[in-house]
């Protein structure tokens, strides 16, 4: 796997496969580039597919690091520049969506040709004026409890939260669910806590009307994390954008309906 040394010396590992128009796949919190395995295999037959392990995740970890979203957005800029990509279609799943929003806020449309936001809200915390964050009214008080639980027993928290990556009503592929939990357990708690705090503080709602790119908001019709109305609100906020609902998926359509998600992405990129 190639390595890019970032501006501060941090190692950034990525996969670079196939030939053609570039597609960049940005994973979520506690995950890594391998979570896009089905898309990497299928899309490299017609596209150049770049899949990084974000700073702080899997091979791109460094002891003592405390990254925030701005670091990940700047890393994305360095990666796109390093590879010389032009008009890249960039997919941001979950926290990866916030990385993309932060990139747009900090660097504009530089090297981008289009954006896919997968099951993410521009603000994850709810309050009296915002109800389209994490489901069940997840607010600042709930967040404090969540962070305390995370810190008290990361293995127990990871085992409890990873089933929420999938559709309501149970996981159709137990082996996949076990793999997701195993990957989540292999993380540095302090790194994850730093990134979670950064996400909880972020609010990209005012950014959306200024996005001047083709945008697709993909979401799971049975997401246990965000309501369908979150994607609809974002579609209405970004001129000319569209939504794609994956009815049998939860928070991870690219895993739960991998073939359908890949077809959507190939059509969007084309």
Domain ranges of the chain: 3-269
At 154, list the tokens: 């990361």
Q: Which CATH class is domain 3-269?
A: alpha beta
What distances in angstroms separate CA 53 from CA 175, 195, 223, 244, 268, one per listed residue?
A: 22, 14, 24, 25, 23
Give 217's pLDDT tier (boundaries 50, 70, 90): very high
The angle that helices 95-107 and 189-201 make with each other, rounded to 10 degrees, is: 60
pLDDT tens-digit series, residues 128-145: 999 999 999 999 999 999
Phi–psi pair at 99, nearest 5 degrees: -60, -45
Q: Rounded to two decimals, what is the model's pTM? A: 0.97
Q: Are 102 and 73 in contact (CB under 8 A)?
A: yes
For residue 169, the model assigns a pLDDT of 77
Q: How far apart are CA 232 and CA 263, in angstroms?
A: 21
For residue 129, the model assigns a pLDDT of 97
**Residue 173 pLDDT > 90, yes or no?**
no
pLDDT tens-digit series, residues 94-120: 999 999 999 999 999 999 999 999 999
For residue 70, the model assigns a pLDDT of 98
For residue 191, the model assigns a pLDDT of 97
């Amino acid at each position: 796997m190639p390595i890019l040394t970032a501006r501060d010396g941090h190692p950034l590992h990525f996969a670079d496969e196939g030939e053609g128009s570039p597609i960049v796949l940005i994973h979520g919190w506690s995950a890594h580039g391998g979570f896009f395995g089905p898309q990497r295999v299928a899309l490299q037959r017609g596209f150049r597919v770049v899949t990084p392990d974000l700073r702080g995740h899997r091979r791109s970890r460094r002891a003592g690091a405390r990254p925030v979203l701005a670091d990940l957005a700047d890393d994305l800029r360095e990666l796109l520049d390093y590879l010389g990509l032009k008009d890249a279609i960039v997919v941001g799943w979950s926290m990866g969506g916030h990385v993309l929003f932060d990139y747009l806020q900090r660097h504009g449309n530089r090297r981008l040709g289009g954006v896919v936001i997968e099951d993410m809200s521009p603000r994850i915390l709810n309050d009296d004026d915002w109800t389209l964050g994490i489901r069940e009214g997840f607010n600042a008080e709930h967040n404090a409890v969540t962070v305390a639980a995370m810190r008290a027993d990361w293995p127990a928290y990871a085992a409890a939260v990873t089933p929420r990556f999938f559709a309501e009503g149970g996981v159709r592929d137990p082996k996949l669910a076990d793999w997701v939990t195993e990957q989540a357990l292999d993380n540095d708690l302090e790194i994850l806590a730093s990134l979670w705090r950064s996400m909880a503080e972020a609010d990209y709602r005012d950014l959306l009307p200024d996005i001047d790119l083709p945008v697709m908001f993909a979401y799971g019709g049975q997401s246990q994390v965000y309501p369908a109305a979150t994607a609809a609100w974002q579609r209405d906020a970004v001129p000319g954008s569209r939504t794609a609902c994956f009815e049998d998926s939860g928070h991870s359509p690219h895993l739960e309906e991998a073939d359908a998600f890949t077809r959507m992405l190939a059509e969007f990129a084309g």
